[in-house]
Structure 1
Amino acid sequence: MTVEFAGARGGEAPLTWGQQAFWRLTRWLDDGDPYFNMPWTLPVPGRHELDAVLAALRGLVERHETLRTTCAQTPAGPVQRVIRRGRLTVEVAEAGQARPLAVAAEVAAELAATGFDYAAEPPLRCAVVTGGGRPRAMAFALSHLAVDAWTLDILAADWKALLAGREMPAPVWQPLDQAAFERERTGAARGARALRHWRAELGTAPLTLFDFPGVTPEEPRFVRIGMESAAVAAAAETLAERWSVSTASVLTTASAVLLSALTGHRRVAMQLIVANRHDPRTGAMAGTAVQDGLFVLDLSGGTFADAARAGHGRALTAYRNAHYDPFAMMALREEIGRERGGTVDLSAYFNDARSIGHWPNLPRVEPPGDPAAIAALTGRTRTFLVGAWHEVDATVFFSTTPATHTCGLHLLVDTARLPRSTAHALLLGMETLLVSGVAGDVPLDAVAELCGITPVTRPGGSGPGSPGTTGGDAEVVHMKAVPVEGAPVEGGAAGRAAEDVTAGGGAR
């Protein structure tokens, strides 16, 4: 069946910077590649007839221009084209005896299995899943060119309102408006400030953290290991309160500290995935705004507490300077590479994919913050394989999950640089570092031994960045973007998990 829509306006404009960030990544992919497709599901609460559900779907598409936008390359550069009037094909699937949301997840995965034709096809495919003759769930495939995880939350909230028949004011800010803002005085000045910040940071960042010989890779080469640790969550909350920082800063800094202990570098550079929703207009905009922030942290001395306090400030600065023209950033990085005699490798990433900054459903710790009680939670920790891929543009990628009862932490590694065993060691090292930090401050020079991390060995005992340590085995690897994982993402806060598919925006 089809749903006809008629939006308030159509139009054409250059891509927003957020759209450009993903557009660059799609240029790496073959036509029809589904890497940046996002399977997603929504419930249909209450007792609604099919016509009412299709009317709500029409309202969602008419309301948010990003859902009816195509993107194309033109002689003047890539552009977005908002379709004012059109027709959306909607499939219908019967759940039978199965759970409708489970069936919707399967249907969403099928819809997302084929790449979008960005120039000709709206970035939305959908199906209604029925049970007992009534709509029970929706299955979607969405393009990351059109939506990010923040947008999924907006769509989920609007979906409930539309089904309930509630009147809502029209959105005041759409990607067409954002594109115009980024080219006008205030927006352009913001982008220029971000580029100046990156220029200063790139001048001091290590050329690479991974200046040591590689190892024989697995096949597929890129492996993601997961850990669920209530102890990490409880410790992070305790340390964040103690040090007056955020739990995100505790986890980000811990990741940098562990990489420093592993590689021997006392200055660590990572890219942070930034939502770029810093003002009410972009906060309410449906579209993609995610870009990378640059986090450079000096770990030459002191304790984990010192590092976390410094890291908190550095992370906030990174978040403030993650809105820029991606093509101008590419030119800047090439310029810095010529000045420094080599490309700065920014293939280490951290992404906090949670929707809130704490874990409200953790096991109770009595008394609160007690070191022994938190340490006892380590008995519940488990690690597991998340997946493996042939091509990913990252050497190390830490990311949290939206879990609220435990700290879900994933670590993807390039096994040509770091073996799978190192990924396990770094994840468990995160737990050891945070739990130990609750009991007492941890000197940075004690982290490797404390956490069971074996520092890398360089030929001839040479140190980080020493001449002769970057032979053919140690070349910097830049490959295709991270593929979307198979599990669909449900609406609401759980949609934040989809942020993980951004995989940064390094030197692709």
Structure 2
Amino acid sequence: MRVGRASSQPARAPGFRPDSVWTERRARVAETPIDTVVREDQPCGVNSDGATFLRTDPERFRAETDDPAPASRVPPPPEPGATADGTAVVEFTGARGGVAPLTWGQSSIWRLTTWRADGDSYFNMPWTLPVYGRRDLDTVLGALRRLLERHETLRTNFRRTPGGMVQHVTREGRLTVQVVDGGHARPLTAARELAAGLAAAAFDYEAELPVRCAVVTIGGRPRAVAFGLSHLAADGGALGLLAADWRDLLAGNDPPEPTWQPMDQAAFEREGPGAVRGERAVRYWQAVLEKAPAFMFDYPRHPSGEPRFIRILMRSVALGAAAETLAARWSVSTASVLTTASAVLLSTLTGHRRIAMQLIGANRHDPRIGALVGPAAQDGIFMLELPGGTLAEATRIGHRQALTAYRHAHYEPLGLMAMREEVGRRRGGPIDLSAYFNDTRGGGDWPDLPALEQPGDPAAIAALTGRTTFAPAGSWDHVDATTVQFIIGPARETCELHLLADTAYLPRTTVHTLLRGMETLLVSAVAEDVPLDAVAGLCDITPVDRPPGWERSQTGPAGETAEASDPARTGADRVHGETAETTETPETSGSVVAEAIGG
């Protein structure tokens, strides 16, 4: 259908500032540059290939940094269908509309959004794309129209019904697009500011399309496009697909129509091979939960700081070089090296020889889902036995366990929740799954790591530790159902390792010890394999001290508030803040991430 121009005079967005709390991240998908932003008011943020979302208090961060909320810098998005100065109206007609149940990926995100207060924008994603070549506004708006027509997820509402949540795909409609003069700002800098504002307000899922958009012009010519996207519409893998489409559509090409949309995915998951896959995943989870430790952190709490939850970032070229060297030597992925090392460090600290962690899988190994524009990520469960041996032996086992975990990360969330609760009842209470590993890299490696004269040289890699830096990366009063999360950031030139921790169980000094311990362990292993019983001394880890006779029960030890009723760990006794009696559906530690097994 037509593209209507409501006004040819672009608006001017005030307050473009390069020192915003929004920082750039880049990734390449199908050789298409993707420009996105990472929100520093979140424990991990959003990147073009995946994201981790944990439940936090962004307003506290803004108050502590004296930085105004993004919405105060950028004009609010217009109401859908409105026309005013500085806007254009994109009218679209897709191939079909319809109503279907939510996909498992949509259900997972929906349940996360219900943890937040009504009107919260936490799970919105700011995103930007460049305008390639010298394109006029009509061409850009036409490409946006085709993007909406091609991908049903961008024209979907989400509604409650007596039978549960449904997705409602709108066949025809309109999207109002802001047209903003970027002035003298760099186009993508201006677009990032706009994207922050577009994502700052909560979506009305029943009445509003899950995408907001603005075109940045410089000297009257479109140079970049800013988006605010609901996470119900897309995850990191979906953003990569949209970016690849964008280049083609701007060039006037018409790529083959998508053959797999969220409504198709919902039907696949409800019967036949899709349903069988989900049932198999639930059985795998059950087998792991029957053997997993009831509590990973079964020791007295420490006095926690204020705020209680902290995130520290270590940037280490040495860690990246060591992980790549060991992955090649042991014929595993860098993600498996880092996942196993995380488990080894937790085992050394807690004394548990059996470690259970949740991993976040993109669920895009099926070619149909790989081409799906929509959310697909869910949690997988990883358990590793560490009775002895060396790091190399543990990593080879960990690699197989991680692959198995990712293969079983696609399931009907409500059914998984019911199973978790049943296992918990049999075992006397909920099973602690508050440790996470999340790899947000797109390709599973660091393509821009500095080259060494002799790749894999132990001395050269050890010398790189002098470049390692540490920095605080956020603090929060409340985080849902999380004690520790190891997060590998999307940087290409260094290994970014974030550690998010509950200081009631992992004091700040322990967080630093674990971060440095990860680097020390892997750098040392480049020179010679490390026996697991030598890790404590090598990494300067003091195992936790359990007082004589101290035992944690499912309701909490005497004199200590039970974890399940801990107000700072909202939802710790549930699956991400919801119970199985509700009509919607659960799960994921936060969405969206690369498969994390391809390093």
TM-score by length of 2: 0.78
Matched, 1:95 2:182: yes
* Shift in alpha-carbon separation, 1:94–1:420, aligned structure 2, 3 A: farther
**Structure-1 residue corresponding to 2:152:** 65
Question: 1:132 & 1:500 partners in 2: Cα distance?
Answer: 44
Please state how far the C-alpha of 1:502 moved relative to its aligned partner.
2.6
**Structure-2 residue corresponding to 1:402:** 490
Please state how far the C-alpha of 1:87 moved relative to its aligned partner.
1.1
Question: 2:496 & 2:184 partners in 1: Cα distance?
Answer: 32
Please state how far the C-alpha of 1:392 moved relative to its aligned partner.
1.9
**Structure-2 residue corresponding to 1:52:** 139
**Structure-1 residue corresponding to 2:538:** 450
**Structure-2 residue corresponding to 1:11:** 98
Matched, 1:424 2:512: yes
Please state how far the C-alpha of 1:373 moved relative to its aligned partner.
0.5
* Shift in alpha-carbon separation, 1:456–1:386, aligned structure 2, 3 A: same
Secondary structure of the corresponding residue to residue 200 of structure 2 = coil
| 4+ residue segments displaced more than 4 Å | 461-471
Counterpart mapping for 1:65-144 below 5 A: 65-144=152-231
Question: 2:158 & 2:554 partners in 1: Cα distance?
Answer: 45
Higher mean Cα deviation, 225-234 or 456-465? Answer: 456-465
The one-letter code of the counterpart of 1:479 is: T
Note if contact 2:556-2:563 (Cα within 8 Å) is conserved in structure 1: no
**Structure-2 residue corresponding to 1:240:** 327
* Shift in alpha-carbon separation, 1:461–1:324, aligned structure 2, 3 A: same
Note if contact 1:212-1:469 (Cα within 8 Å) is conserved in structure 2: no
**Structure-1 residue corresponding to 2:406:** 319
Where structure 2 has 5 or more consecutive residues not aligned to the other structure, the ranges are 1-87, 573-587, 594-599
Please state how far the C-alpha of 1:416 moved relative to its aligned partner.
2.5
Question: 2:519 & 2:190 partners in 1: Cα distance?
Answer: 36
Note if contact 1:214-1:474 (Cα within 8 Å) is conserved in structure 2: no
Question: 1:180 & 1:48 partners in 2: Cα distance?
Answer: 39
Matched, 1:184 2:271: yes
Matched, 1:460 2:548: yes
Question: 1:340 & 1:283 partners in 2: Cα distance?
Answer: 37
Deviation string, structure 1 residues 219-244 (Cα, Å, up to 9, x no partner): 33321111111111111111011111
**Structure-1 residue corresponding to 2:36:** none
Question: 2:570 & 2:523 partners in 1: Cα distance?
Answer: 36
**Structure-2 residue corresponding to 1:333:** 420
Matched, 1:479 2:479: no
Where structure 1 has 5 or more consecutive residues not aligned to the other structure, the ranges are 482-498
Please state how far the C-alpha of 1:474 moved relative to its aligned partner.
6.0
Note if contact 1:212-1:470 (Cα within 8 Å) is conserved in structure 2: no
The one-letter code of the counterpart of 2:118 is: D
Counterpart mapping for 1:259-298 below 5 A: 259-298=346-385
* Shift in alpha-carbon separation, 1:500–1:271, aligned structure 2, 3 A: closer
Please state how far the C-alpha of 1:463 moved relative to its aligned partner.
8.1
* Shift in alpha-carbon separation, 1:466–1:130, aligned structure 2, 3 A: closer
Question: 1:265 & 1:462 partners in 2: Cα distance?
Answer: 16
Aligned-residue CA RMSD (Å): 2.0
**Structure-1 residue corresponding to 2:48:** none
* Shift in alpha-carbon separation, 1:467–1:414, aligned structure 2, 3 A: closer
Higher mean Cα deviation, 19-28 or 330-339? Answer: 19-28
**Structure-2 residue corresponding to 1:438:** 526
Secondary structure of the corresponding residue to residue 455 of structure 1 = coil
Higher mean Cα deviation, 356-365 or 33-42? Answer: 356-365
**Structure-1 residue corresponding to 2:128:** 41
Note if contact 2:316-2:494 (Cα within 8 Å) is conserved in structure 1: yes
Note if contact 1:264-1:463 (Cα within 8 Å) is conserved in structure 2: no
Note if contact 2:355-2:384 (Cα within 8 Å) is conserved in structure 1: yes
* Shift in alpha-carbon separation, 1:250–1:63, aligned structure 2, 3 A: same
* Shift in alpha-carbon separation, 1:94–1:468, aligned structure 2, 3 A: closer
Question: 2:279 & 2:472 partners in 1: Cα distance?
Answer: 41
Question: 2:375 & 2:477 partners in 1: Cα distance?
Answer: 26
The one-letter code of the counterpart of 1:407 is: C
**Structure-2 residue corresponding to 1:24:** 111
Please state how far the C-alpha of 1:247 moved relative to its aligned partner.
0.6
The one-letter code of the counterpart of 1:429 is: G
* Shift in alpha-carbon separation, 1:467–1:345, aligned structure 2, 3 A: closer
Counterpart mapping for 1:345-424 below 5 A: 345-393=432-480, 394-424=482-512
Higher mean Cα deviation, 125-134 or 429-438? Answer: 125-134
Question: 1:137 & 1:223 partners in 2: Cα distance?
Answer: 35
Note if contact 1:399-1:500 (Cα within 8 Å) is conserved in structure 2: no
**Structure-2 residue corresponding to 1:257:** 344
Higher mean Cα deviation, 317-326 or 91-100? Answer: 91-100
Question: 1:354 & 1:258 partners in 2: Cα distance?
Answer: 22
**Structure-2 residue corresponding to 1:488:** none
Which of 244, 251, 254 is matched with 1:157 structurally?
Answer: 244
Note if contact 1:212-1:474 (Cα within 8 Å) is conserved in structure 2: no
Secondary structure of the corresponding residue to residue 269 of structure 1 = strand
Secondary structure of the corresponding residue to residue 431 of structure 1 = helix
Question: 2:217 & 2:304 partners in 1: Cα distance?
Answer: 46
The one-letter code of the counterpart of 2:504 is: A
Question: 1:449 & 1:317 partners in 2: Cα distance?
Answer: 32
Which of 491, 502, 507 is matched with 2:591 structurally?
Answer: 502
The one-letter code of the counterpart of 1:186 is: P
**Structure-2 residue corresponding to 1:228:** 315
Note if contact 2:554-2:562 (Cα within 8 Å) is conserved in structure 1: no
Please state how far the C-alpha of 1:470 moved relative to its aligned partner.
7.7
Deviation string, structure 1 residues 207-229 (Cα, Å, up to 9, x no partner): 11111122233333321111111
Question: 1:215 & 1:352 partners in 2: Cα distance?
Answer: 29
TM-score by length of 1: 0.92
Note if contact 2:314-2:469 (Cα within 8 Å) is conserved in structure 1: yes
Deviation string, structure 1 residues 129-163 (Cα, Å, up to 9, x no partner): 11111111111111111110000100111111111
Matched, 1:208 2:292: no
Q: Which has the higher helix share?
A: 1
Note if contact 1:265-1:464 (Cα within 8 Å) is conserved in structure 2: no
Question: 1:463 & 1:436 partners in 2: Cα distance?
Answer: 35
Secondary structure of the corresponding residue to residue 166 of structure 1 = coil
Identity of paired residues, percent?
65
Secondary structure of the corresponding residue to residue 548 of structure 2 = helix
Note if contact 1:124-1:142 (Cα within 8 Å) is conserved in structure 2: yes
Deviation string, structure 1 residues 359-403 (Cα, Å, up to 9, x no partner): 221111221111000001111111111222332221111111121
Deviation string, structure 1 residues 2-41 (Cα, Å, up to 9, x no partner): 2111111100000001111111112222111011011111
Number of residue-to-residue matches in the alignment: 487
